[in-house]
Copies of this chain bind each other. A is one copy, B any other.
Amino acid sequence: TINPQRLWDSLMDTAKIGGTEKGGICRLTLTDLDRQVRDWFRSQCEALGCTVAVDQVGNMFATRPGKRSDLSPIAIGSHLDTQPTGGKFDGVLGVLGGLEVMRTMHDLGYETNAPLMLVNWTNEEGSRFAPAMLGSGVYAGVFDRAFADSREDRQGVKFGDAIESIGYRGDAVPGSMKFGAMFELHIEQGPILEAERKMVGVVTGVQGMRWYEVELTGREAHTGSTPMNLRTNALLGTARIIERVDQIALEHSPSAVGTVGLVEVKPNSRNVIPGHVFFTVDFRHPDDAVLEVMEGKLMSAIPAIANEIGLEFSVKKVWDSPAVRFDPECISAVRKGTEKAGFLSRDMVSGAGHDAAYIARIAPTTMIFVPCEGGLSHNEAESTTLEECAAGAQVLLNAVLEYDQR
């Protein structure tokens, strides 16, 4: 059995790297804070006798040998990057829970049949560089390395330059660090487990998600001397599209969600009618066919609203991650591991994107969820108890052993 307090202490210690006043973490991918937590992670894995490899997009792979070197490794892990106002558990629990599994085996001198591989994926959050799950996406061949390198943050810094600047451009070709299956532990980030008083979510898949970037261009003009009928106000158009995105999601309730999360107004001056607005749209649904309908509605709403006001517009789909179904054998290993630990569980589909969603394209994969308070995530107040974290790590250990002993 894993050591709950040791896991908790590691969570609380690393939470200081980028820790915020409100108790969260701001540790955007490929910043110096990300470098610090990566350095710490590498040294902890090396202390367990693991070899740590880094690939060309910064994904980190710590390998613990098994009895049989002819078997493909079993991978565990998640991501150490966070949102700008992120919590202490999103992603981090999966990596440190995996580290706790490694430490437990190390203490007992336990040898698995297959090697065990603990992974920290780069830029899972997608907040600094869109799209999300970029490191695992390159690993799985969804994106190529050049695409990843070309992604720019909102200050115009390229992914490729950011990775060089923190010294985490590794040698390994993405995808070359092969494994035979992956288990990702994560907080649910939604309200269901808590509401049903279940400790474990057996994750059967991930819903589809699409991201768009919209730009509206009108004409900057004086707020005081420009009559209402002579305006082309890009922010008014944005307001109407924000409302429409909300409606589209409600038209496909209860499963659909739709959000405008990022807005940049230019010139953003109190007495200038906004001439230009850049904003993003995030649509999700478990059924790709419904997403297609939602996209159609957005694509007709944008020109209609732009025309009402006389705005120019451009819209780009920057991400399309279809719905994913996880591997039955991996799912069954999680189910057995949960029973063995004696936790109540329920099957569920993830609302959030995860590295596991891309890895599932190339290897048997699944996930383990534990509850978080009020379902709240992407918030500094994100909260999961020591017991819940420990339950997740225990089920992760059990599932890995189950899968290893097939």
Contact for A376 among B209, B219, B261, CB less than 8 A: B219
Distance from A281 Cβ to chain B, minimum over Cβ atoms (Å): 9
CA gap between A238 and B264 in the complex, in Å: 14
Q: Is the CB of B378 within 8 A of A211?
A: no
Distance from A115 Cβ to chain B, minimum over Cβ atoms (Å): 33
Determine the main DSSP class of A at the interface with B.
Answer: loop
Q: Is the CB of A352 within 8 A of B259?
A: no
CA gap between A280 and B223 in the complex, in Å: 12
Query: Does A363 make an interface contact (CB < 8 A)?
Result: no
Query: Does A273 make an interface contact (CB < 8 A)?
Result: yes
Query: Does A242 make an interface contact (CB < 8 A)?
Result: yes
Contact for A260 among B235, B240, B353, CB less than 8 A: B235
The count of identical subunits is 2
Which B residues are in CB contact (< 8 Å) with A227? 190-191, 254, 257
The stretch of A63-71, A73-81, A243-251 that contacts the partner chain: A243-251
Can you name the residue of chain B whose Cβ is closest to the Cβ of A154?
A: B268
Contact for A85 among B84, B254, B266, CB less than 8 A: B266
CA gap between A84 and B223 in the complex, in Å: 14
A-side residues, CB < 8 A to B, are 83-85, 125-127, 130, 132, 188-191, 207, 209, 211, 219-230, 233, 235-236, 238-240, 242-243, 246, 249-250, 253-254, 256-275, 280, 282, 284, 350-353, 375-380
Contact for A259 among B190, B273, B379, CB less than 8 A: B273
Distance from A180 Cβ to chain B, minimum over Cβ atoms (Å): 28
Q: Is the CB of A85 within 8 A of B379?
A: no
Contact for A226 among B130, B190, B223, CB less than 8 A: B190
Q: Is the CB of B352 within 8 A of A222?
A: yes
Q: Is the CB of B262 within 8 A of A270?
A: yes
- Given the contacts A211-B270, A271-B282, A243 and B235 also touching, CB distance less than 8 Å: no
- Given the contacts A130-B270, A263-B265, A270-B126, A235 and B242 also touching, CB distance less than 8 Å: yes
Distance from A65 Cβ to chain B, minimum over Cβ atoms (Å): 37
